[in-house]
Chain A
Amino acid sequence: MDFGTTISRYEIEGDKQPVAQTPPKPVSTSTNTVTAPIVSPESDPSETSLLPESIFESWGTINRVGMSVRMYGDLVRLASVPDGWRGPGSRALRARSLKSFLDFWALVRSEAKEPEITLAPDGMIHAEWFESNRKRLDARFSERGVVFGLFAQDKIVEGVDSVEVVSQILKLHGSKPLSWSHR
């Protein structure tokens, strides 16, 4: 029994089973007509560009330091979340945290594996290098510097310092934590 509920759709060249012929001419009835005015692109700017401003504005650093498509994708994802993403008070990615992370990455990239990066509720980038439960490194890139915690060889090293100093500490550490990666 046909209740007339089948939806027919437009035909495309190459389709094996065209579902319908040419579209019907619009029926001109009072207000339900296909008479919508053409929308000018000038009066209606597009919202389909997706690249977050913070990524766009860091384009120089992103290009300079170099990274994999995957890490770039991670950064874009983190930069896409709005304020309030994790409840009231949580913040979108701070541009200075992104800069701090990219500056750090530029200094360690040649001897580091790409970390797992996430966004902390305060808008700071959190990076993790992980080898096992007894070998892990966490770093948070704040506007003032890098807060890091390293657990290796049954010892804990923690600290807060500039990007330059922390990168040196981690590069020189005997357990080579920047080469850890669970990926």
Chain B
Amino acid sequence: MAKARAKALLPKAPLAEVVFELRWALQAGPEGVPVLQSDPGLIPLLDQFTGEMKKIGFGFTRDLSHPLQTGAHSVVRRFYKATDRPFPIMQIGPGIFATNESSEYDWKPFKKQAEQGIRALLRSYPKLNFFALKLIHIELRYIDAFPASLVGNVALFTFLEKQTTLKIGLPQMLTDKKILEPNAVGRFGFRATLAGRKQSQLQIELASGKNEETGEDLVRMETKVVSLGSDVPTLANGSKAFRAIDSWLEKAHGITSPLFKQLIKPETLANYRIGN
């Protein structure tokens, strides 16, 4: 099994990373120093969560900082399946849980991975009589890369026009090569509230970038569904919370997956398969 995995080829795809992230409210800092938020359950959580991770094969840990000296919603400990495998990964810290996968991503295994992490979190967080675990932020995020060497011109508007189905018209002057070189860099952002969900958004961001050392140009695309506040599943009824988060995941994926297929042209994706 390990040998077969070692020989498996890295999929050629725009997807570089996918992240599922969950945040919970923290205990407020002293009056006048609101930045000093803390997570009263963090220490027992770390201990128990580490045990839960071992049970599901994430037995290798890396501590990033001291748990009591780590800022709000920052990662303290990462969990790996092996020392030589940077993905998949689970992450935990004061007020935050996240799990990531690389371009090996496939929805069903990733969803299972997220569910395992959520179960571990809910099993591990201590019940305190002065502080209740309250989720405030849930997010599914995809990061894709479109390098010039694969898809051609990645000047932002050329990319948007030729590689995506977006249609953004530019005034003649901005496309006049006598005035401007056709190498415009830039950033395109789109944010829309999900229908019937006031505190949930679909966010798309496309930005041009350059590897300064090698000179390679690329476009970075981040697509995410994020819910805050009352749109985040509540833990008031613990037994239903897990199902609610699961349902949120399906809904978010039900938006991001067809969106990607509608947004990026098939001929763009075909560039990744050449030479396989």
Task: State the A residues within 8 Å of B (CB).
Answer: 7-15, 18, 20-27, 29, 31-41, 44, 46-51, 54-64, 66-74, 76-77, 80, 94-96, 99, 183
Contact = CB atoms under 8 A, between A and B. Distances in A.
A51 B147 contact: no
Interface in B1-49: 5-10, 12-13, 16-17, 19, 21, 23, 25-28, 30-31, 34, 37, 44, 48
A36 B127 contact: no
Contact of A23 (B13, B124, B127, B150): B127
8 contacts: A26-B130, A29-B130, A39-B23, A40-B228, A50-B89, A64-B275, A95-B212, A96-B214
A105 to B, nearest CB: 12
Interface string B187-231: 000000000000000000000011111101010100000101100
A63 B272 contact: yes
B12 A10 contact: no
- Determine chain B's interface SS by DSSP, over half rule: mixed
Most buried by B among A15, A23, A51, A62: A23
A44 B81 CA distance: 29
A48 B132 contact: no
Contacts of A14: 242
Contacts of B102: 51, 72, 76
A13 B239 contact: yes
B145 A38 contact: no
A22 B119 CA distance: 16
A69 B5 contact: yes
Contacts of B147: 59-61, 63
B64 to A, nearest CB: 10
A127 to B, nearest CB: 15
